[in-house]
Amino acid sequence: MDLRQFDQKLREAPPARYSDEVWARLCCEQAFLSMKEGNYAVGAVLVSESDELLSYGRNTVFGHGYNSSRHAEMEVIDRMERDFSDMSRSGMTLYVSLEPCLMCFGRILLAGIGQVRYLTEDSVGGFTRGIHMLPPVWSELCHRTRFEPARVDSHWRALAKQMIDENAVAMRQKVAAAWQGK
Q: What pLDDT sits at residue 132?
A: 84
Q: pLDDT tens digits, residue range 103-152?
A: 999 999 999 999 999 999 998 888 988 888 889 988 888 889 999 999 99
pTM over 0.75: yes
Look over the chain and give the mean of its residue pLDDT values, rounded to a whole number.
94
Task: Count the neighbouring beta carbons within 10 Å of the beta carbon of residue 87.
Answer: 13
- Within the chain, where are the H helices? 3-11, 21-36, 72-83, 102-111, 136-142, 154-179
Q: In terms of C-beta density within 10 A (0-12 exposed, 13-18 middle, 19 or more buried), how is residue 95 classed?
A: buried
Q: pLDDT tens digits, residue range 39-77?
A: 999 999 999 999 999 999 999 999 989 999 999 999 999
pLDDT range class, residue 179, cuts 50, 70, 90: very high
Q: Which amino acid, 119?
A: L
Q: What pLDDT sits at residue 182?
A: 85
